[in-house]
Amino acid sequence: MSAETPTLIEITHAPIDLNALQRAITTPRDGAVVLFTGTVRGQTGELETVQLEYEAYTEMALAKLRQVAEEMRARFPLIHGIALVQRIGTMDVGEPTVAVAVSAGHRGDGAFEAARYGIDRLKQIVPIWKKEVRPDGSAWVEGDYMPTARD
């Protein structure tokens, strides 16, 4: 990481400070920052969710987040800053659970595409597990991605 291409990778129990995240990855050359946040949804179809509980294999999750950042830089060479932050522990409805931020000189320099790639790839390969806590019980949520050799 350099001052010209800051990278913030984090697994945290603390609430995600979105303003601090933006400041951490914005360089003097940047006029665009794209920020994606995933939040705890209280209603999915007919199912009510009270809380989400996230767990991670932290050491491997950090390595995979670094991999995602490297892939983002390779695919979108005009971006500058990257932040990939996953919260673990128990979160209530409306709280941010994950954040992906990308800075670039201009909005057309791949920042939107890089942020989308970052969250999609994070969901595919980073070892994080989610349990939905509902009024009638809890259930672990399984993904549908099957890792490949490049993962």
Whether residue 150 is contained in a domain is answered as no
pLDDT value at residue 74: 98
Domain count, the chain: 1
Whether residue 2 is contained in a domain is answered as no
Rg (CA), the chain: 16
Burial 122-135 (b: 16+ CB within 10 A, else e): bebbbebebebbee
Provide the domain limits for residue 110. Answer: 7-141
Whether residue 151 is contained in a domain is answered as no
112 pLDDT more than 60? yes
pLDDT value at residue 145: 64
Which of 149, 133, 144, 124 lies closest to 54, judged by CA?
A: 133
Whether residue 34 is contained in a domain is answered as yes
Whether residue 147 is contained in a domain is answered as no
Whether residue 1 is contained in a domain is answered as no
Give the pair of three-digit tokens for residue 28.
């003097």
Instruction: Show the beta-strand stretches assigned E in the chain.
Output: 7-12, 32-39, 43-44, 47-48, 51-56, 79-87, 89-92, 96-104, 128-134, 137-141
Whether residue 149 is contained in a domain is answered as no
pLDDT value at residue 59: 97
The answer to whether 36 and 116 are in contact (CB under 8 A) is yes
146 pLDDT more than 80? no
Mean of the per-residue pLDDT values for the chain?
A: 93
Question: Domain holding 50: CATH number?
Answer: 3.90.1170.40
Q: Stretch 58-70: mean pLDDT, rounded? A: 97
1 pLDDT more than 70? no
What confidence category does residue 47 fall into, taking pLDDT thresholds of 50, 70 and 90?
Answer: confident
pLDDT value at residue 3: 74
Tens digits of residue pLDDT in 72-105:
999 999 999 999 999 999 999 999 999 999 999 9
